[in-house]
Structure 1
């Protein structure tokens, strides 16, 4: 008797040998699900109804069994939550950093504004006092005295931390205090002889002295770009000097000596720097230099000019005592304030950026002094001053380009 055979593809899953019924239910459930997922799982022909029903009941029971078993999800929601939390924290930190940068920028801009403002008023009040009281050594000593009182006040009431100074530190700071004293003394001597604008035009030659002294004492040979930037500075100062209405040799050489002293201070600060573990911050260093300058200059004042800053002497000279004292005090306060702020800025920016800010400050002081004192300025004199200041700005840019590879 001929039997009928149903030919099915060899890949049909349920033709494989079936395991006993006491097999692990999870494995059996997986097998049944794979069988039911095949597109050709059943051939609904006559004579196989029982088989189909049995498989249907198995599928039903397996589906009920699958509802009892909680299978883990292939994709967890936890990483998504972690990513969202991390993204939120990153955005919050970015907002905080942006807010912090904006606050720092605002503080730095305020310091620059105060630096320029105090410097303007110092030059105005100082010039007014020196016009009627031509004793620059006494005036300089008085300004150091005002600064000394302010420093002691800050240390006494803990407005700024009082430093612990060793003998080696004082020896290292002493040369800086000496050249700092000479620098401010020569500046006052120049301001007493010539116009404020002309003094600051001559003081624009500070980069020239810086390059010369660095080459002589530190062995820093200037590049061709640096030397090229010095040419308009020297040429501009020479052109302005030839056409300056208030030109005076004493005022000219005093300003040049001030340049030499101030730049010697920068060179000495590199050469006589104290040990790194004992180093002082800029504000503390300036405070100590101020006190030492007052101690150094006070006996020199008594020897050279005597005691001149008294009410009796001012009255005998026909001066308004109150007006002279008030303006001298304001000049001393502004003198200490603008230098203190300058050191605070130097703690926040690079020396090159500070140099650029100093160049802009000199432009502001020259313009405001010309307007306030109505100083006569010829077109050639203005051209010379502009060329010199442009050279200072160019020098600052060259120094910035030179310093980029070191900071990279």
Structure 2
């Protein structure tokens, strides 16, 4: 094993000053450059020479070990490491931002997909049940009961924070719960009377009633662009109604009543004065409304339709008990799930984006129901439905246009 001992070549050593050497143990020499030769353990010089960079060096005491120290040392390694860490941290932060943005987009897309999927299955299962079990009040009460059970489950196991509700809040929420109950009840009544596609075509007129009720009770008058977007909605629904094969007035008017009650809920939410410190998020509000709706509708269902949803009653009516119960529970589960997901989306996007998504959802539901139930649709009927849906889309876009503020008078 060889060890390299470096010795300086005397021909390259030049004294810094010409005065006689003093007793100072430190001798200063300047090397330009320093040439060193390596020796092995036997003392023989190796053939390779090492040339150090052109710098100023100091030589320690000749009696001690040879120590070469540069006068101008390089920056400490710690500082260079800090600069590297800062750059690496910035790059990592950029990658994390991209990853976070991608994750949010993926979650939002998944929520929209679930929203549409739950809607499709709700309308299919609900229509199948209402065909053989024509008791919409009982069916609606069952759906609210399922929602109440799910909300209670989430609150019990802290999957969602249980709210603290005051008496003033309950009094303010009761009117919202009433119109929410009526809106869903009228929708189920319409679905039991006419085709799913026709019910949702009529429900495309919700923007019309929203503008009408806001003007009547809130004094919010629409712009010319908003009114223009309502014309294709009304015209398209009228055209689709005239050519609808399953048309009947009961289904038509209950769908219209659903539009009125659902939009009344939006107006009431603005009219009801609730203190800012008592406000709650949309999901909590929806959960409370669901429980209230069940409490309000359950006695009405018993009074109007009696106890119909029992195995004995279903069997006596010649129905497949297992099939009806399974589809009813699945419809109720999808009913609560799609509304819950809808509020989750609303917390992540703007109301305009949510409105556009709702328009697309209606198209998806209409097309899927026509395919599943093989509903006969004429070209004129399809044209009317398409015009109405285009009008809904235009309405949602026009609503996003904010009026320019009026210049202040001097």
TM-score, structure 2 length as denominator?
A: 0.78
Instruction: Say which is worse superposed, 75-84 or 299-308, in terms of deviation.
Output: 75-84
1:183 matched to 2:179: no
1:310 and 1:213 mapped to 2: Cα distance? 41
1:69 and 1:313 mapped to 2: Cα distance? 101
> Which residue of the partner structure matches residue 341 of structure 1?
341
Residues 15-26 of structure 1: pairs in structure 2 closer than 5 A? none
> Which residue of the partner structure matches residue 240 of structure 1?
240
2:304 and 2:404 mapped to 1: Cα distance? 48
1:365 matched to 2:396: no
> Which residue of the partner structure matches residue 228 of structure 2?
228
Q: Where is the strand percentage greater, Structure 1 or Structure 2?
A: 2
CA deviation map 1:279-338 (0-9, x unaligned): 111111111000000001111111111111111111111111111111101000000110
Task: Measure how far apart 1:91 and its partner are.
Answer: 2.5
> Which residue of the partner structure matches residue 402 of structure 2?
402
1:104 and 1:123 mapped to 2: Cα distance? 29
1:386 and 1:80 mapped to 2: Cα distance? 65
1:203 and 1:82 mapped to 2: Cα distance? 63
> Which residue of the partner structure matches residue 295 of structure 1?
295
2:87 and 2:221 mapped to 1: Cα distance? 51
1:268 and 1:403 mapped to 2: Cα distance? 24
SS of equivalent residue, structure 2 residue 246: coil
> Which residue of the partner structure matches residue 158 of structure 2?
158
CA deviation map 1:27-58 (0-9, x unaligned): xxxxxxxxxxxxxxxxxxxxxxxxxxxxxxxx
> Which residue of the partner structure matches residue 262 of structure 1?
262
1:178 and 1:385 mapped to 2: Cα distance? 30
1:403 and 1:142 mapped to 2: Cα distance? 45
Residues 310-325 of structure 1: pairs in structure 2 closer than 5 A? 310-325=310-325
2:137 and 2:189 mapped to 1: Cα distance? 8
> Which residue of the partner structure matches residue 167 of structure 2?
167
CA 173–404 in structure 1, closer or farther in 2 if over 3 Å, else same: farther
Task: Measure how far apart 1:85 and its partner are.
Answer: 4.8
TM-score, structure 1 length as denominator?
A: 0.79
Q: Unaligned 5+ residue runs, structure 2?
A: 1-56, 59-68, 406-410
Residues 32-111 of structure 1: pairs in structure 2 closer than 5 A? 85-111=85-111
> Which residue of the partner structure matches residue 130 of structure 1?
130
> Which residue of the partner structure matches residue 285 of structure 2?
285
1:381 and 1:239 mapped to 2: Cα distance? 7
2:404 and 2:170 mapped to 1: Cα distance? 34
1:273 and 1:188 mapped to 2: Cα distance? 31
CA 388–316 in structure 1, closer or farther in 2 if over 3 Å, else same: same
Structure with the bigger RCO (C-alpha within 8 Å, sep 6+) is 1
CA 217–87 in structure 1, closer or farther in 2 if over 3 Å, else same: farther
1:111 and 1:328 mapped to 2: Cα distance? 24
Q: Unaligned 5+ residue runs, structure 1?
A: 1-62
1:391 and 1:365 mapped to 2: Cα distance? 17
SS of equivalent residue, structure 1 residue 221: coil
SS of equivalent residue, structure 1 residue 178: helix
1:404 and 1:81 mapped to 2: Cα distance? 54
CA 403–333 in structure 1, closer or farther in 2 if over 3 Å, else same: farther
1:152 and 1:212 mapped to 2: Cα distance? 37
1:396 and 1:330 mapped to 2: Cα distance? 31
CA 163–266 in structure 1, closer or farther in 2 if over 3 Å, else same: same
Instruction: Say which is worse superposed, 265-274 or 318-327, in terms of deviation.
Output: 265-274
1:80 and 1:252 mapped to 2: Cα distance? 76
SS of equivalent residue, structure 1 residue 130: helix
> Which residue of the partner structure matches residue 331 of structure 2?
331
1:210 matched to 2:210: yes
1:257 and 1:401 mapped to 2: Cα distance? 29
2:184 and 2:177 mapped to 1: Cα distance? 11
For the aligned residue pairs, the C-alpha RMSD in angstroms reads: 2.4
SS of equivalent residue, structure 1 residue 158: coil
1:228 and 1:88 mapped to 2: Cα distance? 55
> Which residue of the partner structure matches residue 304 of structure 1?
304
> Which residue of the partner structure matches residue 356 of structure 1?
356
SS of equivalent residue, structure 2 residue 91: helix
- The structure that has the greater radius of gyration is 1
Task: Measure how far apart 1:350 and its partner are.
Answer: 0.9
